[in-house]
Structure 1
Amino acid sequence: MHKPGGPTTVPASVEKVEGSRNPFDVNSLILLSKESFFLSSTGNAGNSPIVAIDSKIEQAMDLVKTHLMFAVREEVEVLRNKILALETTIIQLEAENSILREHVPTEVLQNLSATTSSPPPQSNTAVAAQ
């Protein structure tokens, strides 16, 4: 799919913007596309204009695809870390819950079961808000 120029690489001009989480924002993509267009246009003097335009479009699409893949991978990693943290919290809370249930008198557990099975009473603030 790539032309003789070889695989598309990310130039050094695309760097992570300080304070920005995603290094591949719209401004970086535009700058990268302009740079790629300029670099590829200087080496295509012998080609017809249609082939040169097609080549540039393909290069730009490859760049966008690469940047999107990097962004998706970054988001997947963030979500995996959040899931791991939530699973750890669940395990800790379940262990704490089982310990508390072991040491609580049965009448307290029965009162808890009764309050969770009945609908919660409406407070005055909820009625006033309606």
Structure 2
Amino acid sequence: MGVKILVVDDSLIMRKVIERACNICGYDSASIFEASNGKEGLALLEEHAIDLLLVDINMPIMDGVQMLEEVKKRDQNNNIPILIVSAESNKERIEKLSRYGATFIHKPFTPEKLMAEMEKWI
């Protein structure tokens, strides 16, 4: 069974860019699930055993910070590696996310940068 990756980003284009980057990086056999906000992402986490989360910070309904706060409250999700893929530049928010064990990847990114970070966790 392949790796299960959850991509949470309000931009459909960015979700497709991340999916394409995963394919370029050799994760073309991975199951990639998509959500457009944190609330949808949490619902998918309930349905699937996710191996890696790629989350944007700034989203409507439930942003990435709120989502990660909820993820960390649930014991079954505590060990899921989290990559924050965002254009966020607020150092306080980035530091807060790093306290949740998240790794930050700044947009725009290269497929090689994404692959290097993903390989640390998968």
**Fold shared, TM-score > 0.5 on shorter chain:** no
- Bigger helix share: 1
TM-score (norm 1): 0.22
Q: Bigger radius of gyration, 1 or 2?
A: 1
TM-score computed with the length of structure 2 as normaliser: 0.23
